[in-house]
Structure 1
Amino acid sequence: MAGIVVLILGNIAFQVAAERKNPRVGVFIECDGVRLHYIERGDAAAPCVVLFHGNGTMIQDLILSGLVDRLAASYRVVCFDRPGFGYSQRPRTRIWTAKTQATLFAKALDQLGVRNPVVLGHSWGTLVAIALALQSDYPVRGLVLASGYYFPTFRIDFWLMSGPAVPLLGDLMRYTIAPIISWAIMPKLIRMLFAPRAIPPQFKNEFPISLSLRPKQLRAAAEESAFLIPVAAQLALQYQAIQCPVRIVHGKSDQLIETDQSRRLHEMLPSSLLHLIEDAGHMVTYADTAEIADAVAALAFTSPGRAPLGGGPTRFARRNYFRS
């Protein structure tokens, strides 16, 4: 018992120290009883791009990739810490599926005066982006989906990572051994996410890993690991109802989520465009930032809910893509 108490107090102290070392980078908005942390960059009068990060990361991931600055040169960019990550709250009174998050973000974007955005999601964030596009009361101009998991498959690794989300036992794990285990496996996990490329220096030197190891963020990450397969199964029944144009990007060498996930989604959405990036892993946002920015540009000036005409003069439109 004494050892458990020491671990709990140590993890609480670690969380406080991590937040002092890595203060928030944005501002807060209160929406539907949830405090959301976000940044806004670029021209407020320009078309808007909304960015959703993946599981386990936060706003800083998309900043360090260069996407935020690149897109802010031409667009209004709004980037959130999704619930439970970074400095956004994740109340335990809700089950935070992709649909629950999308409903919250639709209200938050309305409060910010954002309508008809291009929505870019990476990894778990692709499910939130899709769920937002399926909201009947919130128009989305287009989707850019990077490294997504869209169809249920047998993945024992996701279930194994969901332990800290289990009530009571998971709470004890999060404040005792889970941060230590996560710290130990983090270097290998990060190498796998970026493989076959090296970890970019800006990520290695500047990403606030200590924030990712806080007990409250470990709960959010564990919940999303547990929800991934059922959420994908639920959304897979609705993909054909997506009305806006879709651009799909995936690294050919992704070691976390198989490329076939993006191929299958592309086949289900005949008007979509798919680009598989050579020599790129799961963190495709770092592997070809310009390519993804071009995907946004191809959609930014189209009519909401309609496929773009003529493809536009962007590099994304000029390249060769797999079509069904």
Structure 2
Amino acid sequence: MVPNRKDLALLERAGAPLERSYVSVDGAPIAYAQIGSGDEVVVLIHGTLTALDDMMLALGDQLPGRTLIALDRPGFGASHRQVLGQAGILRHANLLDRALVALGVRKAALVGHSFGAAVALAMALAAPDRYTGLLALAPLVLPEWRLEHLLFAPRAVPVLGGWLAGWSHGGFDAALLPMLWRAMFLPQTIPECLEQHFPFAAAGAAAATQRVGEDTLAAGPDLVNLLSRVGSLQAPVTVLGGSHDLVVNNLLHGQLMARLAPRGRFELLPGIGHMVHHVAPQAVARALEDLGR
């Protein structure tokens, strides 16, 4: 693949990352951004090849009267990840939950997108007294062979993985990553706000793609674990998914998640792709308002 100028511009775009604060968990920084001052706290968890900027840019002005806390998952954005032992859904959930405890969050609703929705589910299961409900956007919940296994999992191989990630970033990724980012939005396009302000260069850095590979390899057992326990979750769960999602089959993943959750509800949004929170933020706001009613 030969990248065109538009692809290179997207991959090189540094954007203007949102201002972050940091909380230490096991001596490592977890980055977060917080806006609002409402009594109701909403925690935003981003998906793959993104960072907290993605969630906050989409929903920051859609949920008034609440305190919004968006977190960088470990190894992404500005959150640190140790070399070993911090890949996968359950580990991310544990670290982010502890970060929220350190921030003094006692009660919160969770909003997670894609891989981040699985992390949010793990958080809700681990601390049911802290999380009042879960809004899952295009969630990934079933273990399956995915494109990420082909494109990113080899980059997580010990020793050679780092070299492969660096080599890929120097050539292959210049065409691959912009194509993946655009595919996330199909049949819609990347909104202008994200084009201008999202830090694509950081999200597509060699280290970030290596972390995606690590999480891809760790996800299977974690998803089996979550599926075996979701039936015990008493918090309300709402799942939103787009009918034209090219990344996740929402009739398989999202609908199953809603059926397994005792208080689950599923809604398929016609004509919308994977990035529900950008394309249909009003539907997200409405679902959050109705969560648990």
- For normalisation by structure 1, the TM-score amounts to 0.81
TM-fit CA distance, 1:206: 2.4
Secondary structure, in 3 states, of the residue corresponding to 2:34?
strand
Equivalent position of 2:32 in the other structure? 38
Q: Relative to 1, partners in 2 of residues 1:97 and 1:25: Cα closer, same or farther, differing over 3 Å? A: same
1:283 equivalent in structure 2: 275
Pick the aligned partner of 2:130 from 130, 136, 139.
Answer: 139
Gaps of at least 5 residues in structure 2 are 1-11
Give the alignment of 1:282-301 within 5 angstroms: 282-299=274-291
Structure 1 counterpart of 2:153, one-letter code = S
The match for 1:14 is none
Matched, 1:47 2:40: yes
Tell me how far 1:289 sits from its aligned partner: 0.3
**Following the alignment from structure 2 to structure 1, what is the Cα–Cα distance between the partners of residues 49 and 137?**
16
Distance in 1 (alpha carbons) for counterparts of 2:18 and 2:192: 22
Deviation string 1:258-313 (CA, Å, 9 cap, x unpaired) is 122111122222421111111111111111101111222223xxxxxxxx3xx3xx
Q: Distance in 1 between matches of 2:108 and 2:137?
A: 17
Are 2:39 and 2:67, in contact at CA under 8 Å, matched by a contact in 1? yes
Q: CA RMSD in A?
A: 1.9
Quote the Cα distance in structure 2 between the aligned partners of 1:227 and 1:61.
23
Tell me the secondary structure at the aligned position of residue 108 of structure 1: helix
Q: Is the 8 A contact 1:130 1:143 kept in 2?
A: yes
Q: Which whole-Å CA distance do the structure 1 matches of 2:284 and 2:207 have between them?
A: 31
Cα distance in 2, alignment partners of residues 134 and 48 from structure 1: 18
8 Å CA contact 1:144–1:295 kept in 2: the answer is yes
Number of the residue aligned with 1:109: 100
User: Does the CA-based 8 Å contact 1:164-1:178 persist in structure 2?
Assistant: no
Residue 224 of structure 1: how far off its partner (Å): 1.9
Counterpart residue identity of residue 106, structure 1: D
How far did 1:162 drift?
1.1
Cross-structure match for 1:317? none
Give the C-alpha shift of residue 213 in structure 1.
2.3
Alpha-carbon distance, 1:22 to partner: 4.8
**Distance change >3 Å, CA 154–CA 23, structure 1 → 2:** closer
Q: 1:8-157 counterparts in 2 under 5 A? A: 22=16, 25-43=19-37, 45-65=38-58, 67-71=59-63, 73-136=64-127, 139-155=130-146, 157=147
Q: Which structure has the greater CA radius of gyration?
A: 1
Q: Is the 8 A contact 2:110 2:120 kept in 1?
A: yes
Normalising by structure 2, report the TM-score: 0.89
Q: RCO (CA 8 Å, sep 6+): is it higher in 1 or 2?
A: 2
The CA distance in 2 between the partners of 1:28 and 1:199, in whole Å, is 29
Answer whether contact 1:30 1:36 (CA < 8 A) is retained: yes
Q: 1:217 to 1:296 in 2, by over 3 A?
A: same
Q: Secondary structure of 1:249's match?
A: strand
Deviation at 1:178, TM superposition (A): 3.3
Map of 1:8 onto structure 2: none
Which blocks of at least 5 consecutive residues in structure 1 are unaligned? 1-16, 300-307, 312-324
1:288–1:23 CA distance, 2 compared to 1 (3 A) = closer
Within the candidate set 153, 167, 175, 2:158 is matched to 167
Instruction: Pick closer, same or farther for the CA change 1:97–1:225 going to 2, 3 Å.
Output: closer
